[in-house]
Chain A
Amino acid sequence: MSLVPHVFTAPPSPSVLATVGYYEEWWIQILKAIVIFAVGLQLVPVVLLAERKLLGRFQSRYGPNRVGPYGALQPFADILKLLTKEQFRPSTSIGFLFALAPLISILTAVAALAIIPFGNVQDIFGTPVGLYGIDVSIGPLYLFAFGAIAFYGIMLGGWSSGSKYSFLGAMRGAAQLISYEVSQGLALVGVIMTAQTLSLTGIVQAQAGMWFVVPQLAGFLIFLTASFAETNRTPFDLTEADAELVGGYNTEFGGGRFASYYFAEYLNVVVVSGIVTTVFLGGWLLPFGIHPPGFLDPFVVLAKMGLVTFLFIWVRATLPRLRYDQLMSFGWKVLLPLATLNALVTAVLVVVTH
C-alpha cells in the first residue's frame, strides 16, 4: 500500500511523549479553538433535533414541529426548560462530586473535539492554517484517554447521587464502557497499522487511494458497534435503561446538570461520528478523484459526520435494547475476538505487503 507522505518530518525522540505535526501562531490557535468549539457545540442541538425528527419519521410520525419553523427551536426549548428548573440535589448525595460529574462528562466530550481534523492545511489570507484543533502524533491515544475519563463522569455521577438505581446504572455503564473500549481500541489498531501513523491527519492522508472502510471493513463494523456502546446509545443504552433503571446514572440529576449529561451524550455522538469519518471514511477526501477546493473540506467532513449520525439514529430506531448478559457476552466473546483477529490479520498483511 502506497503511503502518502504526511506532515511529520522528524520522528519523536524517546524523551518526547508526543509531537505536533503542524502548528501556527498562538493567536491563530486560539481563534481556531473558538471556531471549532463554536461550530462543534452548535452541532449538538442540530443532532438533538435531527434525532427527534428522524426517530419520529422512523416511527411513522412527525417529530417535534411546534416550536419555531418545522420545530427547529425545539432543542433550545428543551435546554431552556432544563436550565430554568431547580438544581435538585438528594440529601444522600455527595455534594462536590455530584456537581463535578456532569462537568467531567461534558469536558471529556469537548476535549475529543480538539483533534478531529476538518481539513488539510489551508492558505487563509496568506497564512497557512490547519483546519483542526491540533494535530498531535498520538491522536487515538488522546481519544481513548479522554474516553476513559468520560467513564468517571458516569461512575461518579451515579455513585455520588446516593441512589441505588443510579448506582446500578453507573456500575452497568462502567462495565460496559470498559468492555467495549477494548474492542474499540483494537478495531482502531488495524487502521493505525495500515496507515503507519497515529496522527489523525496522517490517517486521513493515508486514505487518499482508498478509504479504510474498504480494507478495514471488519474493523469499521467493530468500531461502529463498540462506538454505539461507548456513547451509551441503543442497542447498548443499558446505563440509562429507562424501563429498568428509571434513567440509570442520571436519575437524580435535574435541571442544568441533567442538561450537561444530555449535552455530553449528544456531543459524544458528534465526536464519535467525527472519529469514524476521520478514521474510516476518508475525512475530507472524496472518492473518484474529486478534489474540491480546500475551503470545502470542513463541509465534506460535516456531511460525512451527518451520514454517520444518521446511521446512529437509524440503528436507535431499529434495534431494541440488549439484555445485560447479552451485552457482556457479545462484547467479550464476539466483538473482542473479532477485533483481535482483525488486528492480527491486518498486522500479517501489512508485514507481508511491505
Chain B
Amino acid sequence: MSSENPPRPAAPVPAPSPATVAVTAWSPGADVVEVQRAPAPGPTRSTWRTFRETFRGLMTTLGRYREGPVTIQYPEEKTPVYPRFRGRHKLHRFEDTGLEKCVGCSLCAAACPADCIRVVAAENTPEHRVSAGERYAAVYEINLSRCIFCGYCEVACPFDAITMGHDYELSDYDRTDLIFTKEMLLAEPLERTPLRNEGE
C-alpha cells in the first residue's frame, strides 16, 4: 500500500493499551476458530504410535485379503438386474391366440423423446390377421443407438405391447445392426440377464 492512500478510518476496536498488548500479542476475531491441538507425543509415545498405526494399516489390508475379492468376472458372471431395470425393449404376443399385442397406433413413437421408434401400420384382413385390433404394425423398428431407455414408450402403450426388457449388452460393430426390427423385438432374447432376487 502506497503512502498516498488516504488514512484508513479508525478501527472500531479501540487500540489496546500497552498492558494488554503484553498479555495477548495477537487476538483473533470472534470468527477465527482456534485449532485445538494435542500436545506433541514424546519419543516413546510417538514410536509406539508409529508401530501401532502401521500395524493397524497392515491389519486393514489383511482384512481385505481375507474377505476375498468382490469382483464380478463380467463376461462370465453378470450383474443381476432389478425387475424394473429398463433394458432392451420387447414386443409381446397374446399367449392364447399368438396374435401381436401391438396395434400400430404409434403412440410409443409419439412419446419417444429420442424419436427412435418407427411404426408403419397396416390394416388387418381376415386372411392375414396379425394383431388383435383393427390394424397392426407392418414395420416396427427401434433404433437402439438413439434410444435413451427412458421407458416412455412402455408407459404410452395402451395395450402393454412394448415393455422394457432386461438386456443391457447391446454393443455392436455396425450402427445399422442396432436398428431392431419387429421380429427381433418379438423374439425371446438369446441370453437372459440374471434377475436380482428379492432383497439382493
Q: Indicate with 1 or 0, residue by residue over A317-335, a CB within 8 angstroms of chain B CB atoms.
A: 1110000000000000000
Which residue of chain B has the shortest Cβ distance to A320 in the bound complex?
B57
The answer on a CB contact under 8 Å between B69 and A318 is: no
Contacts of B70 in A (CB 8 A): 60-61
B162 to nearest A CB, angstroms?
Answer: 39
The answer on a CB contact under 8 Å between B54 and A57 is: no
Q: How far, in angstroms, from A58 to B62 measured CA to CA in the complex?
A: 6
B65: which of A58, A62, A319 is its contact (CB, 8 Å)? A58
Interface positions of A from 50 to 69, Cβ below 8 Å from B: 54, 56-62
B56 to nearest A CB, angstroms?
Answer: 10
Given contact pairs A56-B69, A60-B69, A62-B71, A314 touches B64 in the complex (Cβ within 8 A)? no
Contacts of A241 in B (CB 8 A): none
B48 to nearest A CB, angstroms?
Answer: 14
Contacts of A54 in B (CB 8 A): 65
B61 interface contact, C-beta 8 A: yes
Q: How far, in angstroms, from A315 to B59 measured CA to CA in the complex?
A: 10
Interface positions of A from 61 to 95, Cβ below 8 Å from B: 61-62
B79 interface contact, C-beta 8 A: no
Q: Indicate with 1 or 0, residue by residue over B63-89, a CB within 8 angstroms of chain A CB atoms.
A: 011011111010000000000000000
The answer on a CB contact under 8 Å between B69 and A314 is: no
B38 interface contact, C-beta 8 A: no
B57: which of A57, A60, A319 is its contact (CB, 8 Å)? A319
Q: How far, in angstroms, from A56 to B68 measured CA to CA in the complex?
A: 10
A302 to nearest B CB, angstroms?
Answer: 22
> Of B64, B67, B68, B70, which is in contact with the most chain A CB atoms at under 10 Å from its CB?
B64
Q: How large is the interface on A (under 10, 10 to 19, 20 to 34, 35 or more residues)?
A: 10 to 19
A314: which of B58, B67, B68, B71 is its contact (CB, 8 Å)? B58
The answer on a CB contact under 8 Å between B65 and A57 is: yes
The answer on a CB contact under 8 Å between A319 and B54 is: yes
The answer on a CB contact under 8 Å between A315 and B58 is: yes
A330 to nearest B CB, angstroms?
Answer: 10
The answer on a CB contact under 8 Å between A61 and B69 is: yes
Which residue of chain B has the shortest Cβ distance to A56 in the bound complex?
B69
Contacts of B67 in A (CB 8 A): 60
Contacts of B68 in A (CB 8 A): 57, 60
The answer on a CB contact under 8 Å between B60 and A318 is: yes
A136 to nearest B CB, angstroms?
Answer: 35
The answer on a CB contact under 8 Å between A318 and B71 is: no
Q: Closest 3 interchain pairs by CB?
A: A318-B61, A318-B57, A58-B61
Given A58-B61, A61-B69, 16 new contacts (CB under 8 A): A56-B69, A57-B65, A57-B68, A57-B69, A58-B62, A58-B65, A60-B64, A60-B71, A61-B70, A61-B71, A315-B58, A318-B57, A318-B58, A318-B60, A318-B61, A319-B54
Which A residues have a C-beta under 8 Å from some C-beta of B? 54, 56-62, 314-315, 317-319
In the assembled complex, 26 residue pairs joining A and B whose CB atoms fall closer than 8 Å, in A order, are: A57-B64, A57-B65, A57-B68, A57-B69, A58-B61, A58-B62, A58-B64, A58-B65, A60-B64, A60-B67, A60-B68, A60-B69, A60-B71, A61-B70, A62-B69, A62-B73, A314-B58, A314-B61, A314-B62, A317-B61, A318-B54, A318-B57, A318-B58, A318-B61, A319-B54, A319-B57
